[in-house]
């Protein structure tokens, strides 16, 4: 050893220091920005592979989301059906217009009745012709076989079962139609559908995690030399992990956007048929999307899932390549 | 105070003779020395212990009087930042520019961007690669790539630099140039430890030499003895 060299150490005082909190924060921000941009660059360098991965993730996200939206729309539609709570009282064939009007007036006086509408046989026939394809067949009938119908709207918040039972006791009433049981069953189906959405969402969410994890794992494999060099140079786990986390988040975000696009396309494909179907029941209905808040939540959730999948994959690799952490 | 000290260090792996056996020596700050011996003598293992890529089976390794056995988990990267490392095969990131390769230790250490640029250009000038910042490693000769490897190892001004066969793939003239570059580092306060099996080159450098044989330290030759 040269004694003069041993004494000479001017650079020791100049060694790289971390600096103050401000410069450290600045460096931290620069590193994150670099990882954010460079990970996006890596995705764009492999457009086909990226598109395939994002496509698989998008389908996995779109399926439960589509189910949830369909269920939401169905609930919205059934809600309007349930809220009507109308009771149809089909009067006996011999009851004439005067008696039907009088009976309607009597019913309007009852406290458990909110309103009564009288539908004449002619109105009923016209409505029937408009709603069915049997207009031609109905024309050949000699008379109108339909009776007067009273459409009774129950008051209060109950389902109208008691009122319907009471109306069945009227001597003029031949048939009383009240669909409370049907509505209860529909509610039960909707509750079951919600649970199905939750279970499917959970399973497919797990699938998204696995897809991201596997994709990032392959990327880690391709860059294992680089990771080893970084570790030799003193990179922390966080430094090594950071670009992969951003990569996962980009995958998730892109998959979320693609899932939304898939749902828009699916919605457009279904809207026309659905409108026709609903119109055949004399109603109007438009499909509702997730809305701005739902869209934001979806994109944030998808990015978070991508981040989590990448975090799991990198954690596994870092644990395996940490020879001195004993 | 010694910068680096090995006290009765043994490193063994299951089913094989010890890679290092009861090795003891000390290195002063600012010193440059060689570790030599035949293939499998334990040179690389010794450097790996200094760099904390391995831990000794027995004995203690002290850097700045700090026992490396007590450096655990999250503190290992901090230790490695104080030890520059030069590989025989350079291990440059081929998809990144020379600038990006050399800047890596500074980015890892959290050095602000403006400071990074200044230091990278300074160190590239020092290794004779000023103006080549934007080149990719594959656009450089083997000797130039090794210069980049050295620039990367010293850019963060580590206390200690370990080089494992840094001239192993180079012709004699390039090897001599690289050695001269490494020999200039102690003057800047960096302690340099080089593993090499090239005895002729080692002798020409006239520095302290540790000789390993089958994992044992069999000789510790001073520059004066080497000159004699």
State the complex-level ipTM: 0.88
More confident of the two residues A211 and A140: A211
Same domain for B110 and B59: no
pLDDT digits (tens, 9 = 90+) for A199-244: 888 888 888 888 888 888 888 888 888 888 999 999 988 899 999 9
B38 to chain A, closest Cα gap in Å: 23
pLDDT at A283: 65
By C-alpha distance, which of B102, B60, B52 is closest to B79?
A: B52
Residue B132 DSSP label: -
Q: Is the pLDDT at A247 greater than 90, yes or no? A: yes
Q: Which of B133, B157, B181 is the last residue of a domain?
A: B157
Look at residues B115, B135, B157 and tell me which one is the last residue of a structural domain: B157
Q: How many domains does chain B have?
A: 2
Give A90-158 as a DSSP string. EE-TT--HHHHHHHHHHHHTSTTEEEEEEE-HHHHHHHHHHHSS-HHHHHT-SS-----EEEEEE-SSS
A265 and A204 co-located in one domain: yes
Q: Are residues B220 and B164 in the same domain?
A: yes
Q: Is position A22 within any domain?
A: no
Give percent of chain A above pLDDT 70: 85
- Would you say residue B168 has pLDDT above 90? no
Beta-carbon count within 10 A of A82 CB: 17
Nearest to B52 by CA among B38, B63, B39, B41: B63
A256–chain B nearest CA distance, Å:
30
Side-chain-facing half-sphere of B216: CA atoms under 13 Å: 4
B195 plus B175 within the same structural domain? yes
Between positions 172 and 201 of B, the ones with CB within 8 A of A are 186-190
| Dihedral angle of Cα A74, A77, A83, A86, to the nearest 10 degrees | -110
Interval B10-30 mean pLDDT: 93
Co-location of A210 and A315 in the same domain = yes
At residue B61, what are phi and psi to the nearest 5 degrees?
-115, 125
Q: Are B3 and B74 in a shared domain?
A: yes
Task: Return the pLDDT at B63.
Answer: 94
One domain, residues B19 and B39: yes
Interface of B with A in 83-102 (CB under 8 A): 85, 91, 93
Q: Are residues B75 and B3 in the same domain?
A: yes
Residues A152 and A201 in one domain: no
Query: How do beta strands B160-164 and B20-28 pair?
Result: unpaired
CATH number of the domain enclosing B6: 3.40.50.300
**Which tokens go with A41?**
């660059």
Q: Please, how many CA atoms are within 13 Å of residue A34, restricted to the half-sphere of its CB?
A: 16
Picking from A1, A322, A323, the nearest residue to B208 by CB comes out as A1
**Whether residue A190 sits in one domain with residue A65:** yes
Minimal-distance CA residue of chain A relative to B68: A324
pLDDT for the residue numbered A156: 76
| Confidence grade of residue A90 (pLDDT, cut at 50, 70, 90) | very high
Domain residues for the domain of A63 are 33-81+184-320
The reply to whether A192 and A262 lie within a common domain is yes
Residues 6+ apart with CB under 8 A from A163: A87, A112, A113, A152, A154
- Kindly state whether residues A150 and A293 are assigned to the same domain: no
Query: What pLDDT was estimated at residue A9?
Result: 45
> Over 70: is that where the pLDDT of B159 sits?
yes
Are A92 and A54 contained in the same domain? no
Which residue is listed with tokens 């080692």? B202
In this model, does residue A134 exceed pLDDT 50? yes
- DSSP state at residue A24: H
Cβ–Cβ below 8 Å for A5 and B85: no
Structure confidence at residue A79 (pLDDT): 61
In a shared domain, residues B130 and B192? no
A46, pLDDT greater than 70: yes
Rounded CA-CA distance A309/A316 in Å is: 11
Q: What is the predicted pLDDT for the residue at A133?
A: 62
- Render pLDDT for A265-309 as a digit per residue (tens, 0 to 9): 988 888 888 888 777 766 666 777 788 888 999 999 999 999 999
Most B CBs within 10 A among A7, A14, A16, hence the mutation to make, goes to A16
> Are residues A76 and A130 part of one domain?
no
- Hey, is A175 helix, strand or coil? strand
Specify the CATH number for the domain of residue A154. 3.30.70.3040
Q: Kindly state whether residues A150 and A50 are assigned to the same domain.
A: no
Average confidence score pLDDT of chain A:
82
DSSP letter (8 states) at residue B187: G
* Pair (B97, B6) in one structural domain: no
Same domain membership, residue A194 and residue A57: yes
- Round to whole Å and give the CA distance between A122 and A291: 44
What average pLDDT does this structure show over A175-200?
81
Q: Do B74 and B164 fall within a single domain? A: yes
Residue A71 pLDDT: 80
pLDDT of residue A325: 44
Structural domain includes residue A177: no
Residues 6+ apart with CB under 8 A from B76: A322, A324, A325, B52
Asked whether residue A17 is domain-assigned, the answer is no
pTM value is 0.70
- Helix, strand or coil, per DSSP, at residue A68: helix
A89 membership: H or E segment, kind and range: strand A87-91
Among B106, B21, B84, which residue's Cα sits nearest to residue B58? B21
Alpha carbon of A245: minimum distance to chain B alpha carbons (Å):
17
| pLDDT at residue B5, as a whole number | 96
Mark whether B145 and B164 lie in a shared domain: no
What was the pLDDT predicted at A26? 80
Number of domains in chain A: 2
Is residue A219, in this structure, part of any structural domain at all?
yes
Same domain, A75 and A118: no
CB contact under 8 A, B187 and A5: yes
For residue B108, list chain A residues with Cβ-Cβ distance below 8 A.
230, 233-236, 239
Q: For residue A91, count other CB atoms closer than 10 A to its CB.
A: 21
Confidence of residue B26 (pLDDT cuts 50, 70, 90): very high
> In this model, does residue A313 exceed pLDDT 80?
yes
To the nearest whole angstrom, how far is the Cα of A33 from the nearest Cα of chain B?
12
Q: Which of residues 125-164 of B touch A (CB under 8 A)?
A: 152, 156-159
Residues 6+ apart with CB under 8 A from A146: A121, A124, A125, A128
**Residue A208 belongs to some domain of the structure:** yes
pLDDT at A17 over 60: no
Instruction: List, in sequence order, every beta strand (DSSP E) within A169-223.
Output: 173-177
* 3-state secondary structure string across B68-87: HHHCCHHHHHHHHHCEEEEC
Residue A132 or residue A130, greater confidence: A130
Residue A24 lies in a domain: no
Q: Is A64 in a helix, a strand, or coil?
A: helix
Residues of A in contact with B113 (CB under 8 A): 26-27, 30
Instruction: Out of B126, B157, B188, pick the residue that ends a domain.
Output: B157
For residue A257, the model assigns a pLDDT of: 95
Q: Hey, which of A123-127, A259-263, B175-179 has the most confident mean pLDDT? A: A259-263
Cβ density class B181-201: b for 16+ within 10 Å, e for less: bbbebbbbbbbbbbbbebeeb
Give the one of B32, B33, B107 whose C-beta lies nearest to A31's C-beta: B107
Answer left, alpha or beta for residue A156, where phi above 0 means left and psi between -120 and 50 means alpha. Answer: left
A78 or B168, higher pLDDT: B168
Q: pLDDT tens-digit profile of B41-67?
A: 999 999 999 999 889 999 999 999 999
- What integer pLDDT is reported at residue A16 of this predicted model? 47
Cα–Cα distance, B224 to B228 (Å, whole number): 6
Are B207 and B110 within one domain? no
CA-based nearest residue in chain B for residue A6: B30
Where would I find the beta strands (DSSP E) of chain B?
2-11, 20-28, 32-36, 58-63, 66-67, 83-86, 160-164, 191-195, 208-213, 216-221
What is the domain extent for residue B176?
1-82+159-228
Segment A95-107 shows an average pLDDT of: 92
pLDDT in tens, B94-105: 989 999 999 999
Which residues numbered 101-130 in B keep a CB inside 8 Å of some CB on A? 104-113, 119
A74 plus A105 within the same structural domain: no
Query: What is the arithmetic mean of pLDDT over B133-162?
Result: 92
Q: Between A and B, how many CB-CB pairs are < 8 A? A: 121
Chain A residues with CB-CB distance to B under 8 A?
1-2, 5-12, 14-16, 18-19, 23-24, 26-28, 30-31, 34, 225-226, 228-237, 239, 322-326
Coil vs helix vs strand at B23: strand
């Amino acid at each position: 050893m040269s004694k003069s060299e041993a004494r000479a150490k001017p650079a020791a005082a100049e060694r790289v220091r971390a600096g103050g909190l401000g410069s450290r924060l600045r460096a931290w921000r620069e590193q994150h920005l670099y990882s954010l941009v460079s990970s996006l660059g890596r995705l764009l360098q492999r457009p086909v592979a990226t598109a395939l991965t994002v496509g698989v993730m998008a389908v996995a996200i779109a399926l439960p989301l589509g189910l949830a939206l369909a269920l939401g729309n169905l609930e919205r539609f059934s809600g309007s059906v349930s809220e009507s709570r109308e009771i149809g009282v089909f009067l006996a064939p011999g009851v004439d217009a005067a008696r039907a009007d009088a009976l309607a007036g009597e019913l309007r006086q009852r406290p458990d009745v909110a309103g009564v509408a009288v539908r004449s046989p002619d109105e009923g026939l016209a409505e029937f012709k408009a709603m069915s394809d049997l207009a031609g067949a109905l024309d050949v009938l000699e008379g109108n076989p339909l009776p007067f119908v009273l459409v009774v709207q129950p008051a209060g918040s109950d389902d109208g079962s008691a009122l319907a039972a009471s109306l069945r006791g009227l001597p003029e009433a031949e048939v009383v139609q009240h669909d409370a049981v049907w509505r209860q069953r529909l509610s039960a189906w909707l509750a079951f559908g919600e649970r199905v959405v939750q279970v499917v969402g959970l399973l497919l969410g797990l699938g998204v995690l696995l897809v991201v994890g596997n994709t990032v794992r392959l990327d880690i494999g391709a860059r294992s030399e680089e990771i080893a060099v970084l570790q030799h140079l003193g990179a922390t786990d966080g430094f090594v992990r950071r670009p992969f986390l951003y990569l996962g988040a980009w995958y998730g975000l892109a998959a979320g956007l693609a899932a939304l696009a898939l749902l828009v396309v699916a919605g457009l494909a279904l809207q026309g048929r659905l409108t026709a179907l609903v119109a055949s029941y004399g109603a109007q209905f438009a499909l509702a999307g997730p809305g701005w808040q739902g869209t934001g939540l979806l994109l944030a959730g998808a990015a978070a899932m991508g981040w989590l999948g990448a975090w799991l994959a990198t954690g596994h690799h870092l644990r395996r390549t940490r020879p001195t952490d004993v | 105070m010694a910068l680096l000290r090995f006290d009765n260090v043994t490193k063994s792996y299951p089913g094989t003779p010890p890679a290092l056996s009861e090795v003891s020596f000390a290195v002063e700050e600012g010193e440059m020395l060689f570790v030599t011996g035949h293939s499998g003598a334990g040179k690389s293992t010794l450097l790996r212990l200094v760099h904390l890529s391995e831990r000794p089976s027995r004995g203690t390794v002290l850097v700045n009087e700090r026992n490396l056995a007590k450096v655990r988990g999250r503190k290992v990267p901090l230790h490695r930042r104080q030890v520059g490392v030069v590989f025989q095969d350079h291990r440059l990131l081929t998809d990144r520019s020379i600038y990006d390769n050399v800047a890596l230790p500074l980015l890892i250490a959290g050095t602000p961007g403006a400071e990074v640029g200044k230091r990278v250009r300074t160190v590239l000038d020092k290794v004779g690669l000023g103006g080549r910042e934007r080149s990719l490693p594959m656009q450089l000769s083997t000797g130039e790539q090794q210069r980049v490897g050295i620039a990367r190892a010293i850019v963060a001004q580590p206390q200690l630099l370990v080089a494992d066969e840094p001239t192993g793939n180079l012709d004699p003239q390039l090897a001599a140039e690289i050695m001269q570059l490494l020999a200039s580092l102690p003057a800047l306060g960096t302690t340099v430890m080089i593993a090499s099996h090239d005895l002729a080159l080692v002798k020409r450098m006239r520095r302290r030499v540790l000789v390993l044989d089958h994992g044992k330290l069999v000789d510790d030759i001073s520059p004066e003895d080497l000159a004699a």
